Amino acid sequence: MSKKDCKFADFSSVKTDEINPKWENAISRQVEIYKKDYDLRTPFERDMHRILHSNGYRRLKNKTQVFFAPHNDHICTRIEHVTHVSAVAEIIAKFLNLNLDLVRSIGMGHDIGHAPFGHQGENILKDIAKENKLNDFWHERNSLHFIDKIETMPDYNGIHKNLDLTYAVRDGIVCHCGEIDERVIKPRDEFIDLYIIPKGGKTASYTYEGCVVKIADKIGYIGRDIEDAMLYGLITEDDLKVLEKEIKITFPEIELNWVNTTVLMHKFIIDLCQNSSPEKGFCFSEDCFNLMKAIKEFNRDRIYYNKRLEPFKKYSKLVLNTIFNKLNEYFEAGIKTSMEKERKFFPKILDTFEEWLIKYSSYNLEKRKELRFENSLIYDITKQSDYQNAIIDFISGMSDNFAIDVFNEIISF
């Protein structure tokens, strides 16, 4: 469908560009990055490439979306999810005349701080943080933390420094949560410290482009999760027929003869574009909004709370708690001494965790200099709370596969 076939509002008056009053705030960085001669990219394109080249982005290919450590190549992993979200956001932004570079950057980076084992992993780390009286763990803020303090990029001299992304991208990432139930979404006006946001899903983005990604996050997974559940047999063709029948009865005005990713994406994207305007904000028609809620409830009841996922939940809790407890025990015994004593038994986890401490604390400043790390120091590991935060950050950055590997190393003899 083209613009000629369908009347969409023009959002160019609120687009994040040079004539928008928010522009200077939107492109501001906490620390300015080096400039390149003849760089043809916009500030947001530079951010997108910095995210693309980060280790956190690469690890998304082996992180759970819904179904853990799939051996089936056709099951969605976290990197496919962020690709879906970015693609949906780009389509919406293109037809409404918003900033494509900005939505691409937010879309690609929005889940970079997600834990291994998906939302189950997030809940486990949240519990660990609570048990140890640490700051609350939620993946949106952890994604902000990762792009601000964890992910680095070598400059022309091979020196590793923080990514230092623009405010608009950082804001879109920490405010991206798609688990919201408002029918209308508009950006906020306030230019705030992003670390004062108390919890996910409660703060509007600073830009319309950030709002687009927030909506695209929901559109991107709702149908894909159904397809994966079908592949793994959690739901059947009969279940899907029940859903389709309920849709036809409850929403007779909606033409939807089949339920899958592409059909749902198309329906929600077109409906959103037809019903949104700069004055109203982003909104779905009442029928489409309620349809989305109904499908989410179907997914929750038939997929996310399915009994077949219970063993995975218990296993992932065992894996992540075992890793945390193992690394935490070294604090009381003296980190360097006790780790060195056990390195021959647990080389993989101790070598990688030690490099983590070298990179982000004063654990070994000589080695840090040798490795050309000039990123921010964020842990004082003489304090147990900082040391425990280092462990949680370390675990949250793991892929499913790496977490399983080091867990097996810990339990093996």
Identify whether 5 is part of a domain.
Answer: no
Identify whether 7 is part of a domain.
Answer: no
Pairing of strands 184-185, 282-283: antiparallel
pLDDT score of 349 more than 80: yes
> Does residue 331 share a domain with residue 262?
no
Tokens standing for residue 22: 């928010």
Identify whether 373 is part of a domain.
Answer: yes
> Does residue 365 share a domain with residue 277?
no
- Residue range(s) defining the domain that contains residue 378: 308-411
Which is nearest to 122 in space by CA: 109, 135, 113? 113
> Does residue 273 share a domain with residue 323?
no
Q: Which of 307, 327, 347 is the last residue of a domain?
A: 307
Identify whether 259 is part of a domain.
Answer: yes
DSSP code, position 166: B
Q: Residue 270, Cβ neighbours under 10 Å: how many?
A: 17
Mean pLDDT computed over 273-281: 94
Total structural domains within the chain: 2
Identify whether 171 is part of a domain.
Answer: yes
Identify whether 257 is part of a domain.
Answer: yes
> Does residue 233 share a domain with residue 360?
no
> Does residue 110 share a domain with residue 223?
yes
> Does residue 288 share a domain with residue 316?
no
8 Å CB contact between 394 and 353: yes
> Does residue 316 share a domain with residue 300?
no
Q: Which of 263, 288, 307 is the last residue of a domain?
A: 307
Q: How far is CA 236 from CA 119, 123, 245, in A?
A: 24, 28, 14
% of the chain residues with pLDDT over 70:
96
* 98-121 tens-digit pLDDT: 999 999 999 999 999 999 999 999
- Output b/e per residue, 377-397; b: 16+ Cβ within 10 A: ebbebeeeeebbbbbbbbbbb
Mean pLDDT computed over 48-73: 89
Tokens standing for residue 246: 């309920």
Q: Looking at residue 184, what is its pLDDT? A: 86
CA–CA dist 344, 139 (Å, integer): 34
Q: What is the CATH number of the domain that holds 22?
A: 1.10.3210.10
> Does residue 228 share a domain with residue 314?
no
> Does residue 321 share a domain with residue 276?
no
> Does residue 319 share a domain with residue 301?
no
> Does residue 315 share a domain with residue 208?
no
- For helices 224-231 and 78-96, the axis angle rounded to 10 degrees is 150
> Does residue 49 share a domain with residue 21?
yes
* 178-209 tens-digit pLDDT: 555 567 899 999 999 999 998 877 899 999 99
pTM assigned to the model = 0.94
Identify whether 4 is part of a domain.
Answer: no
Q: Which of 281, 307, 333 is the last residue of a domain?
A: 307
Side-chain half-sphere of 215: how many Cα atoms within 13 Å?
33
* 281-304 tens-digit pLDDT: 999 999 999 999 999 999 999 999
pLDDT score of 33 more than 80: yes
